[in-house]
Amino acid sequence: MKYIYQNKQIKLVINQDLVGFYLIVYENPSSLTSTSDYLLDTLEEAFQEAQDRFGVLASQWKQSSQ
C-alpha cells in the first residue's frame, strides 16, 4: 500500500517496506528521482513527519494500490 500527496511544488509518497515506512520527497513533482527520504517505524509516524516537515495533514493523503 502506498499513500501520495502532490501539489504544484512537491510530491510526497509514503511507501511501506519490510523495515518500516518511507516518506519519499520529490521536490519537483514531475521528476522520477526523489530528493530525500525518511524511514519511520509506523504509518502514523510517517504522517506526523510529513505534517511537521511539510505541513501536509493526514487527511490530505490519497491511497494508491500501485
pLDDT category of residue 3 using cuts at 50, 70 and 90:
very high
Res 66: pLDDT: 67
> Is the pTM value of this prediction over 0.75?
yes
How many domains does the structure of the chain reveal? 1
**First vs last Cα of the chain: how many Å apart?**
7
Average pLDDT, the chain: 96
Which residue range forms the structural domain that includes residue 49?
2-64
The grid coordinates of residue 14 equal 509514503
Q: CA 31, CA 37: separation in Å to the nearest integer?
A: 15
